[in-house]
Amino acid sequence: MSATVTIPLDSSARSQAALKPGLSLAGQLGARVRLVSVVPREENSTERKALLQSILAARGLNDAQVEVVVHGSVNDGLMQAMSAEPDSPLVMSTHARGAVGEAVVGSVAGNVLRQSRRPVLLAGPDLSEEWTGPIRTVLICLDGSTLSEAVLPPAVAFARSIGADVRLIQVLKPSFGHGGPGADSGEWVYLRRMADHMPEKFGVQANWDVLHGKDVARAVVEYSALIQGAVIAMTTHGRTGLQRVIMGSFAREVVHSARSPVLVLRPDENGNV
């Protein structure tokens, strides 16, 4: 991982929701914090830089890096800043004001996911005030598809870089797994097999757990809330374009409701990173 963790901020309080997971990640990596902000005109840059510095000073981060980019497009300005440090982990808020579909799809966060293949650690609108680092467990959501499994390499690399545990999770709806724990269903066999192959494929041991519920996203969110220092990792399952998928998908609901940060990756249509 990079020697810096990039956290995009604007002048809103909402954007600062990314600071808690971002600072936690930077501390675990031993990395420098890099705050990036985009303003439309040069005359706005001094005020914005002073704001970012005051945010850092309030947290005692005097050695953090502050970068203000002047650009007519917030999205393009951020992509420009990201390209300067392509290996820097990115932590950002969804800037949600209403439905998360608006925030993730219509915001800077949505454009980052759409235009890049890097995983992004998102602080959703319901990130708990009680969530605290360090990040101890990465919960990797799988459903048996190639697309869901595309998150494994970056999620495992993320977990290994900070010494976090890896746990694979899958949600079965009531029509599956009637035999309960230990039942010989294809879904249970799949997750157990994936966990068994983790040492060989990725060099890590992984726990696993099968959840149950009619509402798959809710089951994941409620489970993650029980685990201190959890991060949820998942793909957007984007087959027909990110906007359509996030607006109506499992990924949208998890990001909207999660009380933990969510590590999101958008693979290509073939499930490649």
Residues 231 and 157 in one domain: yes
Domain termination site, one of 35, 70, 93: 93
- Structural domain of 216: 137-265
Residues 67 and 179 in one domain: no
Given this model, what pLDDT does residue 271 score?
Answer: 52
Domain termination site, one of 63, 93, 123: 93
Number of domains in the chain: 2
Q: In what order do the strands lie in the sheet with 65-70?
A: 65-70, 32-39, 4-8, 90-93, 120-123, 262-265, 230-235, 137-141, 165-172, 206-212
What CATH code is carried by the domain that includes residue 162? 3.40.50.620
Residues 82 and 148 in one domain: no
How would residue 255 be classed by pLDDT, with cut points 50, 70 and 90? confident
| pTM for the structure as a whole | 0.87
- Rounded (5°) CA angle 105-87-227: 65
Q: For 184-231, write each residue's pLDDT tens digit.
A: 455 689 999 999 999 999 999 999 999 999 999 999 999 999 999 999
**What one-letter code names the amino acid at 220?**
V
- Give the rounded percent of residues in the chain with a pLDDT score beyond 90: 52
Q: For 90-128, write each residue's pLDDT tens digit.
A: 999 985 443 333 333 336 777 777 777 788 999 998 998
Task: Check whether 37 has a pLDDT greater than 80.
Answer: yes
Task: Check whether 272 has a pLDDT greater than 80.
Answer: no
**Domain assignment present for 272:** no
**CA–CA separation, 15 and 19 (whole Å):** 8
Residues 142 and 88 in one domain: no
Given this model, what pLDDT does residue 87 score?
Answer: 87
Domain termination site, one of 66, 93, 120: 93
**Domain assignment present for 52:** yes
**Domain assignment present for 127:** no
Residues 82 and 174 in one domain: no
**CA–CA separation, 34 and 66 (whole Å):** 6
Mean pLDDT of 156-180: 84
How would residue 75 be classed by pLDDT, with cut points 50, 70 and 90? confident
Given this model, what pLDDT does residue 247 score?
Answer: 34
The rounded radius of gyration (Å) of the Cα atoms in the chain is 19
The DSSP string of the chain is --SEEEEE--SSTGGGGGHHHHHHHHHHHT-EEEEEEEESSGGGHHHHHHHHHHHHHHTT-TT-EEEEEE-S-HHHHHHHHHHHSTTS-EEEE---SS-HHHHHHHSHHHHHHHH--S-EEEE-TT--TT--SS--EEEEE--SSHHHHTTHHHHHHHHHHHT-EEEEEEEE-TTS-TT-TT---HHHHHHHHHHHHHHHHHS--EEEEEEE-SSHHHHHHHHHHTSTTEEEEEE---SS-HHHHHHHSHHHHHHHH-SS-EEEE---TTS--
Given this model, what pLDDT does residue 108 score?
Answer: 72
Nearest-CA neighbor of 141 among 266, 229, 264, 260? 264
Given this model, what pLDDT does residue 132 score?
Answer: 85
Residues 175 and 82 in one domain: no
Given this model, what pLDDT does residue 70 score?
Answer: 94
**Domain assignment present for 31:** yes
**Domain assignment present for 271:** no
Task: Check whether 242 has a pLDDT greater than 60.
Answer: no
**CA–CA separation, 14 and 114 (whole Å):** 21
The tokens describing 230, both together, are 């959890």
